[in-house]
Amino acid sequence: MKRASPTKENLVGRRFGKLEVIGRSDKRGSRGARSVPLWECCCECGNITYKATDTLTNPNLSMCNECVSEYAAAKMREKAGYVDGTQLSRIKSDKLIATNTSGVRGVYYDSKANRWRARLKFKGKLMNFGSYTNFDDAVKARKEAEEQIYGDFLEKLNN
């Protein structure tokens, strides 16, 4: 018994990843020198997209382009060690960024205010911990903030 080719098979109503096939489209996609028919699909997010049969069966691509971008960004963040918007390797590292002039992470001199400032970026948000006339006070404020915020965060991760 001869099996129907995937392009001849009726995929209407079937679900592939985040996509549900609505129907065959008049559109065609290219695969090198040849063209292939596309299926009209509705993504879970509500977007309509057009996919070839081989793309539908690939779990990393069976979603609309917007969702693919979000998926790829999430995978990159995960690979880079991000948890809840914070890169764990940055928390544990003492390495300074190239533009740091104070010698201490999160402490910089604000020449307009003539004061030292302490700040920390956590879960994608920049937090300020005051401005100080004395450099050592700014360093102390930054270290205390690190211990409190990073300590609680790392403790929750370990539990």
Number of residues in the chain: 159
Cα–Cα nearest to 29, from 53, 9, 61: 53
Distance CA 99, CA 83 (A): 25
CATH code for the domain defined by 82-158: 3.30.730
User: Model confidence over 47-100: pLDDT tens digits?
Assistant: 999 998 888 888 777 888 898 888 888 888 777 777 777 777 777 777 888 888
On the question of pLDDT at 2 being above 60, the answer is no
DSSP class of 16: E
Query: Do residues 77 and 124 make contact, with C-beta atoms less than 8 angstroms apart?
Result: no
Domain ranges for the chain: 1-66, 82-158
**Where are the strands (E) in 5-124, listed by range?**
15-16, 19-31, 34-43, 48-51, 82-83, 86-87, 107-110, 115-122
H/E run at residue 132:
strand 125-132
User: Model confidence over 5-46: pLDDT tens digits?
Assistant: 455 678 899 999 899 999 999 999 888 889 999 999 999 999
